[in-house]
Structure 1
Amino acid sequence: MTKLQIDQEYLKEQLKNLLLTPSPSGMTDDAVRYVCGELEKLDIRYELTRRGAIRAIIPGKNDSPRRAIAAHLDTLGAMVKGLKREGRLRVVPIGHWNARFAEGARVKVHCDNGQVYTGTILPLKASGHTYNKGVDEQPSDWSNLEIRIDEPVNQIDQLWDMGVRVGDFVSVDSKPEFCPSGHINGRHLDDKAGVASMLAAAKAMMDADVKPELDCHLLFTISEEVGVGASHVLHGDIAEMVSIDNGTIAPEQNTCEYGVTIAMQDSSGPFDRPLTQHLINICKREEVEFSRDVFLYYRSDAASALEAGNDIRTALICFALDASHGWERTHIGSLESVASLLVGYMRSKPLFAEHENVIGDESEYPLIAADRERLKM
């Protein structure tokens, strides 16, 4: 089986365009429209759920059981909590991210009247020339932050006249930078790098006119950062779902910085062992650089799909990410590896040749040899 090439320039183009499209949880329509446009260019059929998530399909050689691959379009963000007398804005987070990483962020305030105002998230004591050591002594907490809008405003009435209201969405600028070394910096690589990798994998399949072994759903969810994720987007005869998200670069982690990482477990529990081993075997066969890791403070679309009652096998594959939910960085090599594994997965034979959602014969069950020998003892 000839290995399909991943179009690196296309992958980078998709990632850049996605990063420049604001999509905090609850305000994802522009990103959804963008991805729908790309699916149309690739001639991939899709539909939208009532809530606006995307369910696309690449028809396979067999239409049952079906596979699914999921990545989320929504990102972290913020919301206006209150209008202050002096013309600044109180702010609260959308999603779970530390106030430490919000300080200094450039943002856009999206008003109901269609106006969009730029601004900066600042601590209440932001001037060293005024507060001296008080700048360092103040807490890192969302209650200690405010938004300074880039408009001539210093009174609450002016904010009101501008159309600023409590509950306005605040998007955080990504500020993407693509380095000659292959490193990519920017906020919201989680999970727009996963979305770009999935689009690149789909393009490789469509360009080569290669059909997956099974019908494959491409799921683009819109509320993973607030815990909902893939809970509502699955339907039909889907037996397996592979979720794409970030793998953290940090001490005591085993994430592969320039390849793909197979997650064995996250905070929601272990992933399906046969499906996970299947992905590992694909990496070995296709010579895709990979590692295995366990994440203690982490969950993905896979967890929400299971919690919603879906009887499916789930797995998680990760691109490398340094400083997750902060000033993030990945590498194009890692994203290409993710895309290559996805292509290999879509082209692979069904997990169990004759049955779905069963343990199967010992010969079908993808245990390593040592495990199989122990079972015979």
Structure 2
Amino acid sequence: MTPDLTYLRRVLVELLEIPSPTGRTDHVQQYVGERLDRLGVPFVVTRRGAIVADLGGPAGDGASRAIAVHTDTIGAMIRRLKEDGRLELKPVGTHSSRFSEGAAVWVFPDDLETVYTGQVLPLKASGHRWDDEVDSQGVSWDQVEVRLDEHVATAEDLRALGLDVGDFVAQLASPVITDRGYVRSRHLDDKAGVAATLAAVKAIKDSGVELPVHARLLVTCTEEIGHGASHGLAEDVAEMVSVDAAVVAPGQQSRERAVTVAMADGVGPFDYHLSRRLHAIGRDAGLDVVRDTFAHYRSDAASALEAGAHLRVALLGFGVDATHGHERTHLDSLAGLSTLLASYLASDLVFPQWDTRPQGPLSAFPSLAVQPAQEEGPQEGPIDVD
């Protein structure tokens, strides 16, 4: 089930060219839905805009699994129409204004036929005016503004364009794929993950492999504000693998050309058995796969658990340098991630006998002595608490 890299690249670039800050994701969800249609994958859309796709596999066995990705990105909204015709910004999602300085943006008024272009600038943008003060100005969203490419000099001029507080401002991704396979772009988180996942689904469809476990794809659109997978998961989902950016930075094991199995994030550890099963599948497939933990990080897995989902969760990542900034990854990482996802979907549950039911007796509960490849209960008898 080798992923189609031409398909992966094309979908990745097309996704990156669709602005989709959290709260304005209808267009990108429409695109993903059309891609699923072409692959022959049935799906529904929830009231809040998430996509729930049926990847196949035997239904009615008591347990299923899910892959979760998100299409929303960090961005901004208009916080104030400034008296000089500039726009003050409110960030959407957690990111520093430092990385938005100089960014080309699209500004979306309520008129869906209109888009305005502009650029994010620091308040002291002219070196000829401010001299060394351009280097000493602070870094915060209060220190930047949007300069529109329009004839505007007052707040009333902005209102005449149809702009108002709460309109969305999207930093353009400007994707570049180099001859060496590096992908440099804003918003790789998580559009690169979506592209790799769709390539995995295509690989499964092309191969004709029958999935041993009923599987769904959950495409969320509010992950960057913390509640992406809080809905959309069926009650019978026993395993969920979230796909997201892996942090490449000093002190981390993640690398741009490797696939990462996250063992823990800022919320806590992921499922012991499922994480190690994924790592083993990657090694067995000959992939460059590493383990890592992340400190300032959460994903769709956290929102699913906090919403009360009763399942095992794990996280697979593609290595990204400068996350939520000037991001970069490599096609090797995306191809490896796609291969690992397809191999995982073609495998059985970690504990088929146990996880097909929501609860059971202690004697059947898997212990640390039981390796993920085994299906029996614990090898040792019950502990005598007396």
TM range (shorter): over 0.9
Aligned twin of 1:42: 39
Corresponding position: 1:261 with 2:260: yes
Contact 1:277 1:367 in 2 (8 A): no
Matches within 5 A, 1:45-194: 45-61=42-58, 63-64=60-61, 65-114=63-112, 115-194=114-193
| Code of the aligned partner of 1:70 | A
Q: State the alpha-carbon separation in 2 of the partners of residues 59 and 85 from structure 1.
A: 56
Q: Which of residues 351, 355, 366 is equivalent to 2:372?
A: 366
Structure 1 unaligned regions, length at least 5: none
Q: State the alpha-carbon separation in 2 of the partners of residues 242 and 283 from structure 1.
A: 14
Contact 2:66 2:217 in 1 (8 A): yes
Corresponding position: 1:286 with 2:285: yes
1:349 shift after superposition: 1.5
Aligned twin of 1:303: 302
Q: What TM-score results when the alignment is normalised by the length of structure 1?
A: 0.95
Superposed CA RMSD in Å reads 1.9
Q: State the alpha-carbon separation in 2 of the partners of residues 169 and 61 from structure 1.
A: 42
1:61 shift after superposition: 3.7
| Code of the aligned partner of 2:271 | D
- Where 1:283 maps in the other structure, the secondary structure is helix
- Where 2:352 maps in the other structure, the secondary structure is coil
Matches within 5 A, 1:12-27: 12-27=9-24
1:205 shift after superposition: 0.5
Q: State the alpha-carbon separation in 2 of the partners of residues 185 and 72 from structure 1.
A: 19
Aligned twin of 1:314: 313
Q: State the alpha-carbon separation in 1 of the partners of residues 257 and 111 from structure 2.
A: 44
Q: What TM-score results when the alignment is normalised by the length of structure 2?
A: 0.92
After superposition, the C-alpha distances for 1:13-72 in whole angstroms (9 at most, x for unaligned) are: 010000000110000000000000000000001000110000001111454310000010
Q: 1:303 to 1:362 in 2, by over 3 A?
A: closer
Q: State the alpha-carbon separation in 1 of the partners of residues 162 and 258 from structure 2.
A: 47
**109-118 or 321-330: which moved more?**
109-118
Task: Tell me the number of residue pairs that the alignment of Structure 1 and Structure 2 aligns.
Answer: 370
Contact 1:272 1:313 in 2 (8 A): yes
Contact 2:369 2:379 in 1 (8 A): no
Contact 2:246 2:317 in 1 (8 A): yes
| Code of the aligned partner of 1:332 | L
1:236 shift after superposition: 3.0
Contact 2:256 2:328 in 1 (8 A): no
Aligned twin of 1:8: 5
1:123 shift after superposition: 0.7
Q: State the alpha-carbon separation in 2 of the partners of residues 140 and 98 from structure 1.
A: 8
- Where 1:236 maps in the other structure, the secondary structure is coil
Contact 1:79 1:92 in 2 (8 A): yes
Q: State the alpha-carbon separation in 1 of the partners of residues 141 and 267 from structure 2.
A: 27
1:259 shift after superposition: 1.9
